[in-house]
Amino acid sequence: MSNPIGLISMQVARPFTREHFPWFTTFKSLGYDFVELLVPEPGELDIAETRRALDDAGLSVVLAARVNLQRNLTGDEAAERQAGVDYLKYAADCAAELGAPIVGGPLYGNPLVFAGRPPAPVPEDLRRQRVEWCVEGLKVAAAHARGAGIALAVEPLNRFETDFLSTTRQAVDLIDLVGDPGIGLMLDTFHMHMEEADLAEAIRLAGPKTIHFQANENHRGFIGTGMTDWTSVVRALADIGYRGPISLEPFRRNDDRIGVPFAQWRPPHEDENQRLKDSAQMLRSLLAMGAHRR
């Protein structure tokens, strides 16, 4: 049995709506097993219709949660925290309706650069308080999700995207504190490249807590075009016996004009299909060799 390989929907469009459903068939033909969709905002997608389109294309799906300062498990205001819990419940319900087994992402909240929030010192009692709020919120959300047959996957983000959870060490500790079998860890090698001392060591630390994985280059381009030591990554995944989904998000575009903002999402400006196909194939081949080593 091999890991399902997926592609994030925003590789081709954002927002991703019904007119983009034909991409499902394309993704499948390029060698992808699943699509990673953003949790639809209410009214953005008809869930039943989306599920039919996925089924027609023979594609599975996982969901990526979108947090902000208004729905924020670690927010300073009770209303933000409650909205954060409600959103995770809503996301799990969407996932169940859609047939997605996992909702992943920075479920804990506290976005930084994408929320226009600069880094700031956090007093020690506020830090402790945030950890408590987060653990309480995730307990409620994980229990709800588990009831719907959905697992929640907590993803550490790099230091510029959040000030709450940036390393695998922190994420493992957080998941231990929540202590619900319905919650696990999601690793993204892009963020890990900025925060970890060693990718393979971090994967081994995460071990069986890992339930979702994103394989992204250091610069978010296509895998194999950057500095990531993929051999070492797949070896570590084999060591921990990881059989879960692996998705790709190579949406950095090759466009080095001065003044082009790299952190801002941009649509594709050229046909990327061959590179997407080769990426899935490369990852599959690497994983196969990584497994032989055992």
- Residues of this chain that bind a copy of itself (CB under 8 A): 74, 112-122, 127-128, 130-131, 134, 158-161, 163-167, 169-170, 173-174, 193-199, 218-219, 221, 225-227, 229, 256-264, 266
Q: Is the Cβ of residue 21 or residue 160 nearer to a copy of itself in the bound state?
A: 160
Q: Is the Cβ of residue 54 or residue 73 nearer to a copy of itself in the bound state?
A: 73
The residue from 36, 80, 217, 249 that is catalytic is 249
Specify the amino acid at residue 72: N
In the complex, minimum distance from the CB of residue 258 to a copy of itself, in angstroms, rounded to a whole number? 5
Go through the chain and tell me how many residues it has.
294
Tell me how crowded residue 77 is: count the other CB atoms within 10 A of its CB.
11
Query: What does the alpha-carbon distance between residue 133 and residue 77 come to, in Å, rounded to a whole number?
Result: 11
Known catalytic residue at 217: no
In the complex, minimum distance from the CB of residue 88 to a copy of itself, in angstroms, rounded to a whole number? 18
Rg (C-alpha) for the chain, rounded Å, is 18
In the complex, minimum distance from the CB of residue 227 to a copy of itself, in angstroms, rounded to a whole number? 7
In the complex, minimum distance from the CB of residue 51 to a copy of itself, in angstroms, rounded to a whole number? 32
Q: Is the Cβ of residue 177 or residue 291 nearer to a copy of itself in the bound state?
A: 177
Known catalytic residue at 155: yes
Decide if 109 contacts 84 (C-beta within 8 A): yes
The residue from 155, 161, 196, 217 that is catalytic is 155
In the complex, minimum distance from the CB of residue 285 to a copy of itself, in angstroms, rounded to a whole number? 21
Query: What does the alpha-carbon distance between residue 270 and residue 185 come to, in Å, rounded to a whole number?
Result: 34
Decide if 247 contacts 214 (C-beta within 8 A): yes
Q: Is the Cβ of residue 117 or residue 293 nearer to a copy of itself in the bound state?
A: 117
41: which 2 tokens?
């905002």
Q: Is the Cβ of residue 90 or residue 222 nearer to a copy of itself in the bound state?
A: 222
Q: Which residues are catalytic?
A: 155, 249
